[in-house]
């Protein structure tokens, strides 16, 4: 995947450049730090859902 966030095989600088380009394609005024905050929030939500499934909740 071209925008594979968090993949250890893709250097962080390359991930940052790709994310910047990806966001810019939608709107050049996108607040990139805010996008990163939402990505991290979504990852936490997914981890909690996974934990709940493992625990049978």
Q: What is the pLDDT of residues 37-48, one digit of tens each?
A: 998 899 899 899
pLDDT at 1 over 70: no
Q: What pLDDT is attached to residue 57?
A: 64
Q: Are 23 and 32 in contact (CB under 8 A)?
A: yes
pLDDT at 50 over 80: yes
pLDDT category at 4 given cuts 50, 70, 90 is confident
pLDDT digits (tens, 9 = 90+) for 7-33: 788 898 998 899 999 899 989 899 989
> Which positions ≥6 away from 19 have C-beta within 8 Å?
3, 5, 32, 35, 36
Which pair of structure tokens corresponds to residue 10? 């893709």
Distance CA 28, CA 20 (A): 9
């Amino acid at each position: 995947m071209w925008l594979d966030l968090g993949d250890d095989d893709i250097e962080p600088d390359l991930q940052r450049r790709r994310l910047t380009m990806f966001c810019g394609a939608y709107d050049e005024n996108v607040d990139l730090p805010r996008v990163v905050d939402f990505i991290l929030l979504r990852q936490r939500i997914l981890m909690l859902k996974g934990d709940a499934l493992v625990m049978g909740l």
